[in-house]
Amino acid sequence: MSLLRFDASGSINDDYGITQAQIDSLKGQMETLRTEMVETDQKQYDSGDIPADKQPLDARFFWLPEEMLEAYAKEREASELGRIFKVANGLHDQIDAAVVLGIGGSYMGARAMMEACCDPYHNEMSRAARGSKPRMYFEGNNVDNDASDSLLQRVRAGGYADSDAEKRHAIIVISKSGGTMETAVAFRQFLANLESELGPEAEDWLSRLVVPVTGESGKLHDLATEIGCDEIFTVPDGVGGRFSVLSPVGLVPAAFLGLDCMKLLEGAVAMNEHFKTADYADNVVMQYVAVNHLLSQHRDKSIRVMSVWSKALESVGLWYDQLLAESNGKDGKGVTPLTTLNTRDLHSRHQQHQQGRNDKVFNNVIVESQRTDSLAVGHSKRNQDTLNDIAEKNLPDIMAAAIKGTNDALHADGRPTTDIILPQIDTHVLGQLFQMLMIATVIEGRLLGINPYGQPGVEQYKTNMNKNLGR
């Protein structure tokens, strides 16, 4: 299967970008950091002999895809992946909706996968059109009263149709500790609602319809045990929330949606292999890091825009926003991530981006082929819109013209760009992209001299919120 590509030519410019010589100068340092990530981190993690400046060392995300695939090949249904498949497949005929409760990395990856790989109107499709895969909703990521109440009303008795399955929903609750306020409050509310709606059937169904993803111990694990949940999936040790998309945190919702989790993990493995073996000049991870790091250091590009050119990928950009911000926004360092969706945002924020403060680099995410047939502009007898001259053009043609036109305009105003080119949008490519960006974030953090793992600032807000609640 094809690997995604990276093109930095839009940033190699003496006037507004960086030089090839600058990129080449980082080769030795980047190769040292690659060895550290591929070899040293795992040895230190496995031995428990972790230097103080690398604690926490949540590096297990790197080898987790191989680990999960190997376990499935050996143990099948007894493996974590096999158990995920068994639960998800077993509920497809029993429910019509699933509510995913989680915040930050506990839901952003799952939402990104749904929006990237499912029909954009998945939740509005009939059960038959969805192949009995459930509608999926996300809550527990806020404390917005109206939003929570609306979803509680949406999933209450009566459901979407008269069949038993279409009256039932499941709860996928994701929290390593169970102590995160937003998710814990939502789970209490949605659990009470589900139990009430099941009525006399609660004893038979509650343990099946509540699917927890949590740590091996903690508040949520204790609550799941009290409920008697049929399965409790584990957030692996050594995997931080924002690095957990290819763990059960992301795989459980993906499996419920019927996405190809095997291809997702295989895509991540392919990116790992590429990162480990490809020469520096051809290594998409190292080139992405080198170019963006140099632009921030030498051209003061303090804002890193992920400019996505597919509506399906907007949530992937938002997932990356969290990954980069929480990982490398420390010690007064790190760039500010920002996601834009084009061509939509060309008509809102782009004026400022092109001719406002020159503090941004634009990383385009471009998809080469579409899943559906190309829609032509078409010829019309009503030509008041004067489009008949491009009647034979189609939407991909217009998108390609917009991408080139935007890059050319940015370059004319001295703004650097890069292109991340995806052959198509599927789970294999998505696995590549997730893994590429996670590896890149760690490598760049170490270039900056900070630990990309941990989030002390987030922990401080949690402490203050609890204090304000009198706890």
Active site members = 326, 347, 462
Instruction: Say if residues 170 and 88 touch (Cβ distance below 8 Å).
Output: no
Cis peptide bond prior to 65, omega within 30° of 0: no
User: Residues 58, 64, 70, CA angle at the centre, nearest 5°?
Assistant: 155
**Positive/negative CA dihedral, 37, 236, 463, 187:** positive
What is the Rg, in whole angstroms, of the alpha carbon atoms belonging to the chain? 23
CA distance 149 to 270: 43
The dihedrals phi and psi of 340, each to the nearest 5 degrees, come to: -125, 150
